[in-house]
Amino acid sequence: MPQHTFVLNGQQVTVDVEDDVRLLWVLRDILGVTGPKYGCGLGVCQACTSHLNGKAFNPCCTPVGDVQATDQVTTIEGLPATVGKDLHPMQQAWLDMDVPQCGYCQPGQIMAAVAKVLQARAAGQQLGDADFDQIRNICRCGTYHRIREAILSAQNQF
Amino acid sequence: MSTETEQPTGVSRRRFLGYVLAASTLTVAAQLGEGAAPAVAAVPGVPEPADLYDLNDMLTDAALATSSLITITVNPDGTATFALPRAEVGQGITTSTAMIIAEELDLPLSKVQVSLADARPELLFNQLTGGSNTTISTYTPVRVAAATAKQRLLEAAADELGVALSALSALQGVITAPDGRSLAYADLAVKAASLTNLQISVTLKAASAFTVIGTPQNRIDALDAVTGRKQFAMDVQVAGAMPAMICRPPTINGTVVSVQNQAAVQAMPGITDVAVVSTGVAVRGRTFGQCIDAVRALQVTWGPGSEDAATDASVLAELRAAENPLVTPPLPLLTSAVDARFTFHFASNSALETNCAVADVQPGSATIWASVKAPITAQEEIAAKLGLPVSAVTVHVTQGGGSFGRKLFQDAALEAAEVSQVMGKPVRLMWHRTDDFRHGRAHPMSISRVRATYTLGQVLTLDQRHTSVATEFGHGLGEIITSSVAKLPVGGLTFSETIFSLTQQTPYNFGVTTQLLTEVDNGFHTGSMRNIYSPNVRCAQELIVDRLAAAMSQDPYHFRRQFLKDPRAVAVLDQVAQAGNWGRTMAPGTAQGIAIHPEYHGFVAVLAEIDCTPATVNRQIPDAVTGPRVTKVVCAVDVGLAVNPKGLQAQMMGGIMDGIALTLTSSLHLAGGHFQEGSWDNYFYTRQWNTPPELDIHVMPPTTGTPGGAGELAVAGAMAAVACAYGRATGTMPTTFPINHDQPLAFTPLPTVPPIPQSPTDGLSRTF
């Protein structure tokens, strides 16, 4: 069985699994990292959104064979460490606004939000309506408005 | 404030009996249902059943006779723990319950831990989470238990400090004597314990002394949610419980005739087992990804399903044929009428967490982990399915990733138990998203005909004939109805008719009002969706109210105000009209809409502004439905007493997003015996691009002093307000919901064989 090595939340991990198994299942079913959620397995709902080398991606659509040994995979569990804190400012904003209801989508929402802010910042912009239109994460509890408030309040905090 | 008044006898209605249970640390209890309020008094006008005695009265009364004890423990570390016999699926009841305990126990909120109780069969039908009834039915019992604990702690402190109990004060988990000496609850928990069961009398706090109840608090589980630590069913680690999925038929209720390649699939990478079960072919493997591969590889000959020829049009025709005629009484001359029929298409209550459960079935016993709102029913059904005594089945209730009605049923838990038994191994069974839309329970299609007559400034009659594909209620509500039927004012009705009668009210004085439900019993998997019948029934009514107002040359707000029965309804309506600047000048193609909804001993008013201009309607977003945009929503809510105003606002926000979706974008399309939708880019629930940029939610000050229901209240009001706004913006009253249902499909349906799609492989080309 092929071996795959990558850096997960700052630590190198190696797993024995077939190349085509999507990273979501490697994380959840083999490594027991359950922050990224399954919501569709189709790259639609964005509940599994995590970061690969600092950019948002969907592990449900990424074969583990596509991940290189030096790739940094960051899940919600590893997000605070990227800023050297116990909580990332985006997570703190989520708490301040009391965003979560059931909470199932929120790890993916937060990971997408952080990436969206960094993307806008790289383009020299603050987040606007057009950027919110690009956040495709589903929240079936309908917390979208508080998500907007949390992102706007956190975007200059990191 | 009825609970605060002195009765003529002089006995305070804040005085209740609590129990101290024999235990090594302080353990107190109260009976669920104790202190439940009697059915509310009649209102002026011609009352409908739900005005007098509604679904919540029934659920609360049902708890009176049969309930057993709920227990709070004060631990030697000074914390209090409580296992809530309800399901937390996002509605915030663990937080509000912790607040109620913190209030009555005088303990910091951070020291109260609320978990979810396993199935407790001795609670009979008192462990059902539904009808927005949790806080209505548990508010007083939880307070009594917490007050009992505080009383015991004070007694222990009085003994320890040698001070009269009346001289002691409790604050933030510390009891202090007049001379400044103090003892923490941690110091007293063991001493306050009892060797025998005792019954003691306690007095609840006066509302004027509340410092926690009624204050905005953040959710107690928010930190776990934002760090990924919150544990849902599929996150529970059970030894040997490997992923499992089901290969499902191409049509609803199709059956397995034969499997051609079982051995070959069982030999696929990672796969350990393949077995035919009652709902399809089950596979078990190392990862869900490999289960998806196996499901897709299975070659199955399928038998027909229960609705293979059904389409939206065929079901609609059935509903039209079944509709009860309106009987118009003799009316004065010059009476006019408004009359319309509305169609509400199938909708999905699929949560973001798909149906799922962990099952470990051993010879002679079974253990299940699942988010289920009727865990006792789940336990009974699983026991029957496995051929085990009920006592051999343990059901652990996990945190739920949303419900919206879906978790009233235990479809996945039953399947997981069956699969585990057949394979002889523990399983972690999860539905694929596509299955969750196509084979999961749907909110039934319905039509609603409404006719109102009016003359000389008065509405004389309102008749509503609601005709629906049958809604399944086989989840424990049935038991409650059976036991409560004698005291209901609606004898002789079916379960569904009873639920309809107990939930549907007309908030207006519209003369002779009749609302009747007729059901067509098809072979669909159905269930109630957040707010059951109300979004459709009340949306139809509120549109007719706008029609009546127009016909009588009145403003929609002032017309409603004039006919509302209850001052609480007037107050929330006035609040949104004022805060939302009702009647302001709006650009062509945009408009305001206003609506009200009474339910769960509460009232909500919603003012929505919508933009139906071409520039907005034709906005292009990939794989999305844009269409008319709700640009602003103002909501006012009176639930009698808001335990946690911040949580109540959250529930209103969610209900508003549901209402927007039901009016504008979200439905299931039935063709060829199956629903076409198979992903969230097919089923158009509200997304960021549909979210109103402006949202303003007002929580009214306490009115009744007792909490009403919150989780579902906003959906009907929001759906109606958006529909009314759309009608006013376009000049055409909408009669089909959602309004885009009959347009060409905005997506290409996924195949049905294989039943689930493969995951894409282009993740790295779509990073941002």
Cβ contact, residue pair A146, B650, below 8 Å: yes
pTM, to two decimals:
0.94
CA distance B518 to chain A (A): 30
In chain B, which residue's Cα lies nearest the Cα of A53? B767
Q: Which tokens sit at B487?
A: 């005291």
Query: In terms of Cα–Cα distance, which of A57, A58, A54, A55 is closest to A38?
Result: A58
pLDDT digit string, tens, across residues B378-422: 998 899 999 999 899 999 999 999 999 999 999 999 999 999 999
Using the Cα atoms of residue B728, residue B733, residue B737 and residue B739 in order, give the sign of their dihedral: negative
pLDDT digit string, tens, across residues B119-169: 887 776 678 888 888 888 889 999 999 999 999 999 999 999 999 999 999
What pairing do the DSSP bridges indicate for beta strands B670-671 and B446-455? Answer: unpaired
Mean pLDDT value across residues A91-120: 98
Q: Cα-Cα-Cα-Cα dihedral of B419, B421, B423, B428, to 10°?
A: 50
Contacts of A95 in chain B (CB under 8 A): 218, 222-223, 226
CA distance A7 to chain B (A): 16
- The model's confidence at residue B6, banded by pLDDT at 50, 70 and 90, is very low
Cβ contact, residue pair A66, B286, below 8 Å: no
Q: Within 13 A of B545's CA, how many CA atoms are on the CB side?
A: 31
CA distance B53 to chain A (A): 29
Q: What is the DSSP letter of B252?
A: T
Q: Quick check: B52 pLDDT over 70? A: no
Minimal Cβ distance to A102: which of B90, B354, B430: B90
Q: What confidence score (pLDDT) does residue B496 get? A: 77
Q: What confidence score (pLDDT) does residue B358 get? A: 98
DSSP-derived 3-state class of residue B665: coil
Q: Which residue has the tokens 């025709």?
A: B317
Contacts of B404 in chain A (CB under 8 A): 140
pLDDT digit string, tens, across residues B440-472: 999 999 999 999 999 988 999 999 999 999 988
Q: What confidence score (pLDDT) does residue B17 get? A: 83
Residues with Cβ within 8 Å of B435's Cβ and at least 6 positions away in sequence, in order, are B246, B248, B354, B755, B756
Q: Which tokens sit at A60?
A: 């449900």
Q: What confidence score (pLDDT) does residue B725 get? A: 98
For residue B583, what are the CA distances in angstroms to B296, B549, B576, B728? 56, 14, 11, 12
Q: What confidence score (pLDDT) does residue B37 get? A: 38
Residues with Cβ within 8 Å of B448's Cβ and at least 6 positions away in sequence, in order, are B341, B342, B344, B464, B465, B466, B467, B536, B537, B540
Which B-chain residues 285-314 have CB contacts (< 8 A) with chain A? Answer: 286-290, 292
Whether residue B738 is preceded by a cis peptide bond, meaning omega within 30 degrees of 0, is yes
Minimal Cβ distance to A110: which of B226, B286, B288: B226
Contacts of B646 in chain A (CB under 8 A): 98
Which A-chain residues 2-21 have CB contacts (< 8 A) with chain B? Answer: 17-18, 20-21
Interface test with A, best of B94, B95, B129, B227 (most A CBs within 10 A): B227
pLDDT digit string, tens, across residues B253-277: 999 999 999 999 999 999 999 999 9
Minimal Cβ distance to A107: which of B228, B287, B432: B228
Q: What confidence score (pLDDT) does residue B123 get? A: 75
Mean pLDDT value across residues A74-83: 98
Which A-chain residues 108-147 have CB contacts (< 8 A) with chain B? Answer: 110, 115-116, 119, 129, 132-147
Interface test with A, best of B687, B688, B758 (most A CBs within 10 A): B688
Contacts of A55 in chain B (CB under 8 A): 767-768
Amino acid at B723: A
Least confident of B124-133, B335-344, B532-541: B124-133
CA distance A95 to chain B (A): 6
Minimal Cβ distance to A40: which of B243, B679, B766: B679
Q: Quick check: A35 pLDDT over 90? A: yes
SS (H, E, C) B532-554: CCHHHHHHHHHHHHHHHHHHCCC
Contacts of A22 in chain B (CB under 8 A): 289, 759, 761, 763
Q: What is the mean pLDDT of chain B?
A: 91
pLDDT digit string, tens, across residues B659-688: 999 999 999 999 988 999 999 999 999 999
Contacts of B290 in chain A (CB under 8 A): 18, 21, 25
Q: Quick check: B12 pLDDT over 80? A: no
Q: Quick check: B171 pLDDT over 70? A: yes
